[in-house]
Structure 1
Amino acid sequence: MELDRLGSEKLVKERMQKYSRDAFKTSLFGEKIAVLCGAQGNKFIFKNQNELFARWSLPSLAKAIYPDLERTRCQEPKASFDNFQYDILKPDALKKYVPVMDSLAREHLETEWRVVEALPSTKKYALSLACMIFMNRGDLDHSGDFLKSLSLLTKGILSLPVNLPGTTLNRAVGGGRVVRRELLRIVQERRAAESEGEDLLSKMVVATNQDGEYMSDSTIVNVFIGLLIGAEYELSSLITNVIYYLAELPHIYHQVFEEQMEIAKSKGPNELLAMEDLEKMKYTWNVVRECMRLTPPSIGGISESIAEFTYAGFTIPKGWKVLWTPHSSHMNSNYFPEPEKFDPLRFEGSGPEPYTYVPFGGGPRMCPGRNYVRLVVLVFTHNLVKRFRLEKVIPNEKMVFSVSPAPASGLPLRVHPH
């Protein structure tokens, strides 16, 4: 299958061919950026986080999403940031949510999937699930102001940092105010309730550092905005892209279907999935991994160099931004033979070499939600293929990139019940 490559991948490939397979410099968002390529580039950046590199936020992101980010970083107890271990996102804690994920996936596919456009539908599902699991809230208005405001906010993340009336960033800032106001209300409501709960919000409102200092409401809101944006865009993008490949490749769909039906036959008529069932979905997970190799959920990560350093013969000044990108290793034939080919079997056995496969990043800043993503995608895929055979309405629909990669027309589908 020949894919229309995303613009970000094309840029990386062309620059590597023109300048160097190890590193090149470019300009993005008005910043000088050094792009370190391949497994060695990934390893260098991941290994030197906090030593050579500091966190850096896009100016548009900071303006739209975290207007008080720098202030709260200076004032917050350390427990608010790197030392706060998202306990709810660890495998042992997540396993009790598998039945919740299964129940919501069943309900969603039963009520929403008649004539369907996959991307908007998976956005709604991913956001609803995140609100339920992280905040124990199933009552947010996902079709009204909150969802519209969240969409405006997210669309401004990669926009030019020009906050004038009518610009994308200006609309994002307005959307961010609505989202922050609603989340702040929820945080304050939870604090006032003084009731213990197992969801992430309940844990965060009582979390303290060694001096007994609580996180501020604003910091908690910052965390939840990041989680909701990740759910609405990166997670929904991944689910949609898995559906895209399953509809595109009948032989892959058939093998996933066979695996999932074996699991379904082992369950009672109304018995929900458990973690043990997900551990059996080995081929399905390899399919998801191959989807993330070919179409990574993000373009990578940008840090700021806090000291001058030399890499592959290039000297990178202090203050430059440094980017790792999955495209430079995921599509490298030295790491993945026939990289354009969709082949889940490449993940069998010991799998890819270290630092070649990086959909979730690596090092101390590896995506903390990677275990959550795995469970959500597997549960959704199980329910989807068990219920429907899939047919793309637009056979050659292209992939495009806005905030995350997605089919250009939202992936309209014909779904055929078994």
Structure 2
Amino acid sequence: MSMDMIYDVLLLILLPILLVIVSFNFLRHKQCCQREKKRLPPGNMKFPLIGETIEFFNAQRRNQLFEEFVHPRILKYGKIFKTRIMGSPTVVVNGSEANKFFLTNEFKLVKSSWPSSSVQLMGTDSIMEKDGERHRFLRSLIGTSLSYAGLENLVPKLCNHVRFFLESKWQGHGNTISLYRSTKILTFSIVFECLLGIKVEQGMLETFERVLEGVFSPAIMFPGSRFSRAKKARMEIEKALTKAVREKRKEMEENLHNEKDGMLLSKLVNGLIHGEINEKEVIDNVVLLVFAAHDTTSFAIAMTFRMLAEHPKCYRKLLQEHIDIANNKRREENLSINDIKKMKYTWQVARESMRLFPPIFGSFRKAITDIEYEGYTIPKGWKVLWTTYGTHYNEEYFKEAQSFKPSRFEEEIPQYAFVPFGGGPRVCAGYQLAKINILILVHYVVTRYEWFLLHPQEPIIMDPLPLPSLGMPIRIFPKQN
């Protein structure tokens, strides 16, 4: 039999088999596509790769992400919809039920998914990037200093620090102060000096700010780019923190691993000495903590004062709460944790301010398996974006949601409806520190100063986090006691 005949016979045998295989795969692919199309959330993916990225970032830049991007799509598609952002197919979810489902299923169904630039600048060994047991261990190590009980002993130190700051920086009758900038400097120094025990050197805050500028920019090392400048600043920070960590380790080893000063850095270095944590994990988590504990807190403080200025009746009620506390103290006597607990209305005001002006918009997760939710399938590898505004401005959870009503927090708020600090295993580790910072600063400002906003309707912008566009200037007049 010739070779041609052999080929003909083989072709006659194989061709039907190939046709069956191709037909089977085609039908299966068609069925899968139909099934996926039917089960995927509604929405518009628009163009390949780009998708709706331009619309997303334009709205974010104007701090109108909810109003211009999310809300119109909720009206069109419902609480869950699909889009494409930064090249990734993304499902945007809204509502307390969605927040709870995705935030509590961290490590099981989803995992944290930050842009490459954020990961590189915050640190690959921070708790932001850790999963499972390693995340739980590091969070526990950090959490001992940041829990309400752990911060109790820190209250007198915070009081001294805040009073000294106000007395040295807010002097003068009728002076104009940038409230936002002032509180950024204050909260930054609190994290370093009161929590970590590291002295703030000149230029440190500005270096950290250069890092922040690049966290959401494209991770391209082009000379002069935001990311390039941020990366260079990150290296400066790393060098300074490495020196501080090694000096602390030497000091502790010479004192038989003594960590009785209660500082968070001492606890981390103690773990380093015992081989529970490595040096890079110490540095990366300190960097993350500094950003988490001062930038968002300073914005929350600024918005609290803005709301008080716009609602004088609420301000009078809050002021009376602090006068009652101050009347039971000597002028230079520090607040106690019991005094902090008495500031119930003040915390309602702060929470309502954070509801209307959340310090974070939300965050991305990545599906690590196919997820069945609300009758839809979110395929493995897709991103999930949950938002604070998706519940904070929802009439289902907050009646007259556009109105400022601190008293709404007298009643129980639905779980995962109020999420300025996130939730689940990745809830912000520093939220108790933020709370105490806000309450202590409000106390000393309202009891010692008359103050007035110069631009009550000052626009809020994003760069890359929300901030008052003019720095929220206020005019201060020290009270005569």
Instruction: Provide TM-score, normalisation by structure 1.
Output: 0.91
Is residue 64–residue 173 contact of structure 1 (8 Å, CA) maintained in 2?
A: yes
C-alpha distance in structure 2 between counterparts of 1:91 and 1:8, whole Å: 33
Deviations 1:121-169 (A, max 9, x none): 11100000001222112x221x42x222100101111222333112111
Q: Report whether the alignment pairs 1:158 with 2:222.
A: no
C-alpha distance in structure 1 between counterparts of 2:84 and 2:211, whole Å: 24
Q: Report whether the alignment pairs 1:415 with 2:476.
A: yes
C-alpha distance in structure 2 between counterparts of 1:29 and 1:64, whole Å: 19
Equivalent residues in 2 for 1:19-30 (5 A)?
Answer: 19-20=77-78, 22-30=79-87
Q: Report whether the alignment pairs 1:404 with 2:465.
A: yes
Deviations 1:206-241 (A, max 9, x none): 1279xx533111110111101111233111111111
Alignment CA distance shift 1:379-1:69 (3 Å): closer
Equivalent residues in 2 for 1:2-151 (5 A)?
Answer: 6-10=63-67, 11-20=69-78, 22-66=79-123, 81-84=138-141, 86-113=143-170, 114-137=175-198, 139-141=199-201, 143-144=202-203, 146-151=204-209
Alignment CA distance shift 1:185-1:322 (3 Å): same
- Aligned positions, number: 405
Q: Report whether the alignment pairs 1:215 with 2:272.
A: no
What is the deviation of 1:308? 0.8
What is the deviation of 1:295? 0.7
CA RMSD of aligned residues (A): 2.2
Alignment CA distance shift 1:112-1:9 (3 Å): farther
Partner of 1:206: 270
| One-letter amino acid matched to 1:118 | L
Alignment CA distance shift 1:208-1:176 (3 Å): closer
Instruction: Provide TM-score, normalisation by structure 2.
Output: 0.80
| One-letter amino acid matched to 1:291 | S
What is the deviation of 1:329? 0.5
Q: Report whether the alignment pairs 1:258 with 2:316.
A: no
C-alpha distance in structure 2 between counterparts of 1:44 and 1:316, whole Å: 13
Is residue 329–residue 357 contact of structure 1 (8 Å, CA) maintained in 2?
A: yes
Deviations 1:260-285 (A, max 9, x none): 11100010122110000011001000
Equivalent residues in 2 for 1:304-319 (5 A)?
Answer: 304-319=366-381
C-alpha distance in structure 2 between counterparts of 1:380 and 1:83, whole Å: 28
C-alpha distance in structure 1 between counterparts of 2:130 and 2:94, whole Å: 30
Is residue 241–residue 406 contact of structure 1 (8 Å, CA) maintained in 2?
A: no
Partner of 2:19: none
Partner of 2:450: 389
Displacement over 6 Å in runs of 4+: 76-79
What is the deviation of 1:186? 0.6
Where 1:81 maps in the other structure, the secondary structure is helix
C-alpha distance in structure 1 between counterparts of 2:473 and 2:134, whole Å: 47
| One-letter amino acid matched to 1:207 | G
Query: Which of 1 and 2 has greater Rg?
Result: 2
| One-letter amino acid matched to 2:138 | F
C-alpha distance in structure 1 between counterparts of 2:472 and 2:404, whole Å: 19
| One-letter amino acid matched to 1:25 | K
Is residue 257–residue 386 contact of structure 1 (8 Å, CA) maintained in 2?
A: yes
Which has the bigger relative contact order, CA under 8 A and spacing at least 6? 1
Is residue 246–residue 390 contact of structure 1 (8 Å, CA) maintained in 2?
A: no
What is the deviation of 1:68? 6.3
Alignment CA distance shift 1:126-1:108 (3 Å): same
Partner of 1:238: 300
Deviations 1:57-93 (A, max 9, x none): 22111222325669x969x977753553520111112
Alignment CA distance shift 1:83-1:381 (3 Å): closer
What is the deviation of 1:253? 1.6
Equivalent residues in 2 for 1:174-193 (5 A)?
Answer: 174-193=232-251
| One-letter amino acid matched to 2:194 | I
C-alpha distance in structure 2 between counterparts of 1:365 and 1:395, whole Å: 35
Partner of 1:284: 346
Is residue 80–residue 215 contact of structure 1 (8 Å, CA) maintained in 2?
A: no
C-alpha distance in structure 2 between counterparts of 1:73 and 1:391, whole Å: 44
Where 1:347 maps in the other structure, the secondary structure is helix
What is the deviation of 1:55? 2.3
Alignment CA distance shift 1:368-1:265 (3 Å): same
